[in-house]
Amino acid sequence: MKSRVLRTDRSSHIGFKIRANPQNKYPLLRMVIMIAVPPCVDGPSVKMSKEGGCWDEMKRTISWIVDCLSPGEALDIQTQFEATEGSDQEPTFPVMIRCEGSMLFSGIEINANVHCDAPCQPIEMKLHETVRILHRKI
């Protein structure tokens, strides 16, 4: 993820780009992108380049949900906020991303040795490989 903030006297422009690693075999799934909006910025004044962004007044966040980001695919999001009246504080916009994928970072080996005198039923197991990735950038 790359991000950039441009500030003027009256507004802040935030742009960030998220790109799934082209070396991955599997897409990133159920991605949630969240920007924390500081109190010195007028949150309801937000303008967004990507549809689907949701402003939450209580949490002071904007969030987007992306169903799938394929390997090598990029997502660009830009937002613009107006400054609150009388605020001279330098705003920061932390970004947090959470997503899931169908992969593991290491292998799993399971050995089941069952010893019994009577005939035993074989053990059946279904293994589901997933990973949850969290990334935060300030």
Query: pTM score, two decimals?
Result: 0.73
Tokens representing residue 107 in the block: 């292998």
Measure CA 91 to chain center: 21
Report the distance separating Cα 79 and Cα 15, nearest Å.
6
- Fold observed for domain 2-137: Immunoglobulin-like (2.60.40)
Contact call for residues 43 and 52 (beta carbons, < 8 A): no
Contact call for residues 99 and 73 (beta carbons, < 8 A): no
End-to-end CA distance of the chain: 11
Measure CA 18 to chain center: 9
Where do the structural domains in the chain lie, given as residue ranges?
2-137
What is the pairing mode between strands 61-69 and 131-137? Answer: unpaired
Each of the 138 residues of the chain gets a pLDDT tens digit; together they read 777 888 887 888 888 899 988 888 889 889 999 999 988 888 888 888 877 788 999 999 999 999 999 999 999 988 998 887 776 777 888 889 998 887 655 566 666 666 666 666 666 666 666 777 777 777
